[in-house]
């Protein structure tokens, strides 16, 4: 990754929970242009989601690594796949689907679904220098 990270979120949606086998997953959004494979890209396995995203995962151990959405011009690194420099999350998203036994008590902002463009802009203002996912912040532009 060669560019700044965008929003970092703990996602509690049912899909993330299922795919990651965990109560939630932490993703860092990045510009797809700033991501490159150090090993041949073919060594990653892919799953094309019905919404047009591509999930890349290790073909040997099935660890999720990176998601790419062409329609949203958005990359998302699964932060737990990073060897070092795991960024701290900014917020919890999709908390309406969180597991009932989990109590979130870290003081981070919580959003029942995905943050609205206004809410996302506010999060970005609190993190100057972060990459701005334009298609999420200005979906109608």
* Min CB(13)–Zn ion separation in Å: 3
Tell me the window of 3-11, 52-60, 62-70, 124-132 that interacts with Zn ion (CB under 5 A).
3-11
The least distance separating Zn ion from the CB of residue 39, rounded to whole angstroms, comes to 26
Tokens of 35: 């991501």
**Contacts (Cβ under 8 Å, ≥6 apart) of 30:** 1, 3, 4, 5, 6, 75, 76, 77, 131
The residue among 78 and 130 lying less far from Zn ion, judged by its C-beta, is: 78
- Using CB under 5 A, which residues numbered 12 to 41 contact Zn ion? 13, 16
Q: Binding to Zn ion by residue 11, rule CB under 5 A?
A: yes
DSSP 3-state of 47: strand
- Measured in whole angstroms, the distance separating CA 30 from the mean position of its chain's CA atoms is 8
Chain residues that interact with Zn ion, rule: CB under 5 A: 11, 13, 16
């Amino acid at each position: 990754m060669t560019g700044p990270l965008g929003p970092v979120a703990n996602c509690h949606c049912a899909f993330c929970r299922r795919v990651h086998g965990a109560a939630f997953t932490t993703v860092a959004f990045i510009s797809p242009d700033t991501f490159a494979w150090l090993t041949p890209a073919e060594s990653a396995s892919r799953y094309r989601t019905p919404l047009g995203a591509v999930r890349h995962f290790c073909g040997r151990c099935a660890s999720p690594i990176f998601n790419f959405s062409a329609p949203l011009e958005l990359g998302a690194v699964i932060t737990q796949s990073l060897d070092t420099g795991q960024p701290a999350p900014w917020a919890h998203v999709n908390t309406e689907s969180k597991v009932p036994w989990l109590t979130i008590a870290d003081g981070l902002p919580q959003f029942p679904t995905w943050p609205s463009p206004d809410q996302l802009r506010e999060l970005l203002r609190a993190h100057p220098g972060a990459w701005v996912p334009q298609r999420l912040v200005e979906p109608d532009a």
